[in-house]
Amino acid sequence: MILFDTHAHLDDAGYDIDREEMIQRARQAGVANIVNVGFNLASSRESLKLADIYDLLYAAVGIHPHDAAEAGPGYLADLEKMAAHPKAVAIGEIGLDYYRDLSPRPMQRKVFTEQLALAKKLLKPIIIHDRDAHGDLMDILRKEKLGPAGGVMHCYSGSWEMAKECLAMGFYMSIAGPVTFSNAAKLKDVASRVPPDRLLIETDAPYLTPVPYRGRRNESAHVLYTAVEVARCRGMKTEDLAKMCTENGRRLFRIA
């Protein structure tokens, strides 16, 4: 079994007590690659530090919509410098979040649009966060267009109709732990329909823990349970699904 956790936050303070053991559990579960995703400048730097320490870790650098209001005047230059690191594989996570509204919506849209332009300039793929902001997010993507390096809709939770438009734009679709929930019929349907060359899986650890560990801290080893359920939805063997998604992730993030 070869697995790729394409989105995690292993720099989270909750792992400080057992990060080494947690990463070892991921290795034992068959996880060969992990993209650790930044949400502000500090966490982006931490992602790069972890990528330097652990061979299976890569980093994404970016400003999450929650942190958009705190992005200072030089944040784009800082991100550009970090993105030059040899293990920085993407700009993310970026996007819009109208559920918590922790930053003013106009600022979220501004910072999102600026980071889209940066990713195009640097020829880096993007990792999109979208929560309760489908309309504005899609409007921005239609206007700005996806860059040549592509991108992924992280922890996808929208409709199949929206997924089809994202796929037509060139996005990969990433499925996380909620697909294992009994009430996730819509997500299970989407997981069954995404073209085989555009499907990714992730944990979003420490969040969105799949069944059977729901309610506890998530970790990269648990991407296996998402793989099992997505494989079931698609009528595939788990090993084949895991291999397919790993190849897709390595293609998107340009990991040999």
pLDDT band at 113; cut points 50, 70, 90? very high
Give the integer Cα–Cα distance in Å for 213 and 192: 23
Instruction: Find how far residue 109's CA is from the centre of its chain.
Output: 19
Q: CB–CB of 110/68 below 8 Å? A: yes
**What is the three-class DSSP state of 169?**
helix
Q: What's the domain range around 107?
A: 3-253
Angle ∠(199,115,246) on CA atoms, nearest 5: 20
Q: How many C-alpha atoms does 3 have within 13 Å on its Cβ side? A: 25
Tokens of residue 155, six digits? 């922890």
Distance CA 20, CA 28 (A): 12
Distance CA 61, CA 126 (A): 10
Confidence class for position 47, pLDDT limits 50, 70, 90: very high
Give the residue among 43, 47, 117, 109 at the shortest CA–CA distance from 80: 117
pLDDT value of position 91: 98
Q: Which residues contact 16 (CB under 8 A, 6 or more apart)?
A: none
CA distance linking residue 109 with residue 102, whole number of Å = 13
Average pLDDT over residues 1-5: 97
Average pLDDT over residues 32-52: 98
For residue 139, give the CATH number of its domain: 3.20.20.140
Supply the mean pLDDT for the chain.
Answer: 97
Q: What does the pLDDT look like over 201-228, one tens digit per residue?
A: 999 999 999 999 999 999 999 999 999 9
Phi, psi of 2 (to 5 degrees): -120, 120
The residue among 115, 128, 130, 34 whose CA lies nearest residue 82 is 115
Distances (CA, A) of 178 to 80, 146, 149, 212, 233: 33, 26, 28, 11, 13
Q: How confident is the model at residue 77 (pLDDT cuts 50, 70, 90)?
A: very high
Q: For the residues 169-181, what does the mean pLDDT come to?
A: 98
* Angle in degrees, CA 192, 196, 199, rounded to 5: 75
pLDDT, position 55: 98
User: How many domains does the chain contain in total?
Assistant: 1
> Residue 16 — φ and ψ, nearest 5°?
-60, -30
